[in-house]
Amino acid sequence: MNDRVLYDYWRSSASYRVRIALAIKGLDYTAKPVDLRSGAQSGVGFTMLNPQGLVPLLIDGDVAINQSLAIIEWLEETHPEPSLLPGDATARARIRAAALTIVADVHPINNLRVLKYLKSELGQEQEAIDTWGRHWIELGLSALEEIAEGSPGPFLFGAQVTLADVCLVPQMYNARRLQADVARFPKLGNIDKRLNGLKAFQQARPERQPGADQ
């Protein structure tokens, strides 16, 4: 039995990032779905493992790590090839900055628990909530489009898939799901299409995960 276990939710973009990274690194794992819609992440069983009550959570032997970027950076340090943070210190900082544009600036305010709060506690209509989501997604993608325009291609930072690409694909998936105007970002669209043609990205697709809506 594989002692590497990933607690995730099929449509969680944070979990999606980790699945991509694991696939790129060629690391097998056992998936344990946590249904966010039913509130399973708040159950005693899961919060004993991760007091924050969020996915993803990676357990590898006696190591347990939460937060998607922390997991991916740990994978990078423990399984360095192929590298998701190539180049010198400056190049790696730029890759991290692009990834954080999504992970720190866009994703948190479009997280399911935030959107639920807007509706249940603040009484916002679904149309307003969707407008909120699209605004912040499109703002973040605008910055990344500029990076893409300066890339020699075929990916965000050249010929090698990086942490930034791992974060981009799940965010583009979310953008389309919320009907954001992704046509405004043709360079990102092309990069996303190339990335989704790679085996590791295909394996990590939400619809291919246990518990996914059919």
Read off φ and ψ for residue 3, nearest 5 degrees: -90, 10
CB atoms within 10 A of CB 167: 30
Place of tokens 């590497």: 4
CA 5 to chain centroid, in Å, comes to: 17
Report residue 50's pLDDT band, with 50, 70 and 90 as the boundaries: confident
- pLDDT-above-90 percentage for the chain: 71
Record: fold of 4-82+201-208? Glutaredoxin (3.40.30)
pLDDT number for residue 145: 97
Report residue 48's pLDDT band, with 50, 70 and 90 as the boundaries: confident
Q: Which of 160, 139, 157, 140 is nearest to 148 (CA)?
A: 157
pLDDT number for residue 69: 97
- The number of residues making up the chain comes to 214
- Indicate the pTM of the whole model: 0.92
pLDDT tens track for 106-150: 988 887 777 778 888 888 888 888 888 889 899 999 999 999 999
pLDDT tens track for 20-41: 999 999 999 999 999 887 777 8
Domains 4-82+201-208 and 89-198 share a fold: no
| 22: its two tokens | 């694991």
- Three-state DSSP state, 8: strand
**Cα angle 160, 2, 25; round to 5:** 5
Contact (Cβ atoms closer than 8 angstroms) between residue 23 and residue 203: yes
| 103: its two tokens | 């992970």
pLDDT number for residue 14: 95
Sheet holding 57-60, edge to edge: 30-33, 4-8, 57-60, 63-66
Q: Which of 161, 184, 154 is nearest to 172 (CA)?
A: 184
Instruction: Please give the full DSSP string across 14-77, using - where no structure is assigned.
Output: HHHHHHHHHHHHT---EEEE--TTTTGGGSHHHHTT-TT--S-EEEETTEEEESHHHHHHHHHH
Report residue 19's pLDDT band, with 50, 70 and 90 as the boundaries: very high
Domain ranges of the chain: 4-82+201-208, 89-198
Contact (Cβ atoms closer than 8 angstroms) between residue 162 and residue 84: yes
pLDDT tens track for 181-191: 999 999 999 99
Record: fold of 89-198? Glutathione S-transferase Yfyf (Class Pi); Chain A, domain 2 (1.20.1050)
Contact (Cβ atoms closer than 8 angstroms) between residue 147 and residue 190: no
User: Within 13 Å of residue 133, how many CA atoms lie on the same side as its CB?
Assistant: 26
pLDDT number for residue 103: 95
- Three-state DSSP state, 151: coil
